[in-house]
Structure 1
Amino acid sequence: MIHDSDRPSMSAFELPGRRESWLTAAATLGGYGLILAAMFLALFVLPYVAFAA
């Protein structure tokens, strides 16, 4: 008999129970953080440096 808890859940609102799930979530958030940091640099820091130079 196959239990539902044995299969990996694809629900985004369910707390990950396994350690790999937490690592995946942390890597995803880290990736978004890098993207946001790059956007901040491109939109604010680079124009400031360009106009200040």
Structure 2
Amino acid sequence: MTYATDRIQEEIAYIAYHFHWSLETILDLEHRDRRGYTEQIAALVNRGAGEG
């Protein structure tokens, strides 16, 4: 199974923006872990937006 390059770039940018991790650190993650972090970030962002 292949994963679209633009989707990977979106995930990398999202994690880097919110966690300030290096590109190398993010690329070292397994796909499942990287996807899990993006989901967790989204949940935190959505929760924070609802608290305002």
TM range (shorter): 0.3 to 0.5
TM, length-normalised to structure 2: 0.44
Q: Specify the structure having the higher radius of gyration (Cα).
A: 1
Structure number with the bigger relative contact order (C-alpha 8 A, sep ≥ 6) is 2
TM-score, structure 1 length as denominator?
0.43
